[in-house]
Structure 1
């Protein structure tokens, strides 16, 4: 039946990245300041995710995967914005080594809020199976030890032009590097297929990047029986 299909299905939720990108672009351009503080902005986005989870639960969805936000402060576009800001101020840049930690701090705050609220929601809705996947920590592990995972370039986009491949975005395959498997980033804000494959494998089985998804892996979530509690009328 349709009800069994809904309850036995797994729903994938991922949003918030574009909201942060828009916020940082407006800040970088000197546009009007947002109506929220950084912490309030993170809280608003986390609350929206929880609201969506509750709505799905009310529609009898019981198994959900919620994705955190990747380390935007390490993306090529954010590195370029920092480089341009430092150049205008006459400050020395570190040539792209390291990430923009102010940005990562806010993203980490959002991920922490979301993870904590999901944990509380699991206690409130015991027949719901909600998994939080922390792609932020996964990508940071890769960036901190790229050679271990087979990567060479942790700064520049494979597809793009200019410094960090971020001055002009990915327009066509002609602007792409020859070996995207050596890069962490594909374009201004998105990882390469090689990184996404590592994240997917780790989310599924817990390896090679441990505890990407909590409290269980997606494989374990799929193998568990779907909740069969009576449905309130």
Structure 2
């Protein structure tokens, strides 16, 4: 990341991993009752705090905030833990796919397709739906320190406009 700074980048948003063990693809292969794959979730829970630590070290070394971390794992886990609170009907089944949880293969013309993609957290076996992505972007812009470190994008833009 220091290479980016040396090349002239002054603000870099770095996203953490998503909920690796909770995507429909992993549910299709490892889940019996819709539970997330524990080992992959552990990997994500270890990586994201280390990302924040690295961001802090880089910013300290540079002497100002150039790198910002987005905790996309927590953003997605909020949807997965309580999809109805965000207007979704399911966080287990992909809108487009095949097999259990629509988690097998890619989204193709022969896939199962949901009637309303806005009700699904996941578009395909791996990726959030457009609506989920819009909610994630909203957190990147205005989210608290639980989601953005050391600050959200609106705060960064406000600081930059004063400079």
Answer yes or no: same fold by TM over 0.5.
yes
Q: Which residue of 2 aligns with 1:65?
A: 13
Q: What TM-score does the superposition give when structure 1 sets the normalisation length?
A: 0.65
Say yes or no: does 1:181 pair with 2:129: no
Question: How many pairs does the alignment contain?
Answer: 163
Say yes or no: does 1:136 pair with 2:84: no
Spell out, residue by residue over 1:10-68, the C-alpha distance to the aligned partner (whole angstroms, 9 max, x if none). xxxxxxxxxxxxxxxxxxxxxxxxxxxxxxxxxxxxxxxxxxx1001112222111110
Q: Taking structure 1 as reference, are residues 173 and 148 closer, same or farther at Cα in structure 2, changes over 3 Å only? A: farther
SS at match of 1:224: helix
Spell out, residue by residue over 1:170-201, the C-alpha distance to the aligned partner (whole angstroms, 9 max, x if none). 10396321111111111011010111011001
- Alignment map for 1:44-59 (pairs within 5 Å): 53-59=1-7
Say yes or no: does 1:213 pair with 2:148: yes
SS at match of 1:131: strand
Cα deviation, residue 168, structure 1? 3.2
Q: Taking structure 1 as reference, are residues 108 and 189 closer, same or farther at Cα in structure 2, changes over 3 Å only? A: same
Q: What TM-score does the superposition give when structure 2 sets the normalisation length?
A: 0.91
CA distance in 2, matches of 1:104, 1:58: 34
> Which residue, out of 72, 82, 99, partners 2:30?
82
Q: Retained in 2: the 8 A contact 1:62–1:127? A: no
Cα deviation, residue 211, structure 1? 3.2
SS at match of 2:92: strand
- Alignment map for 1:1-150 (pairs within 5 Å): 53-83=1-31, 93-94=32-33, 96=34, 98-150=35-87
CA distance in 2, matches of 1:130, 1:173: 42
Q: What do you get for the CA RMSD once the two structures are aligned?
A: 2.0
Say yes or no: does 1:152 pair with 2:100: no
Structure 1's unaligned 5+ residue stretches are 1-52, 84-92, 229-233
CA distance in 2, matches of 1:123, 1:77: 39
Spell out, residue by residue over 1:64-115, the C-alpha distance to the aligned partner (whole angstroms, 9 max, x if none). 11110100100011011114xxxxxxxxx22x1x211210111221112111
SS at match of 1:65: strand
- The runs of at least 4 aligned residues of structure 1 exceeding 6 Å deviation read none
Q: Taking structure 1 as reference, are residues 128 and 59 closer, same or farther at Cα in structure 2, changes over 3 Å only? A: farther
Spell out, residue by residue over 1:141-184, the C-alpha distance to the aligned partner (whole angstroms, 9 max, x if none). 11111111111111111001221102232103963211111111
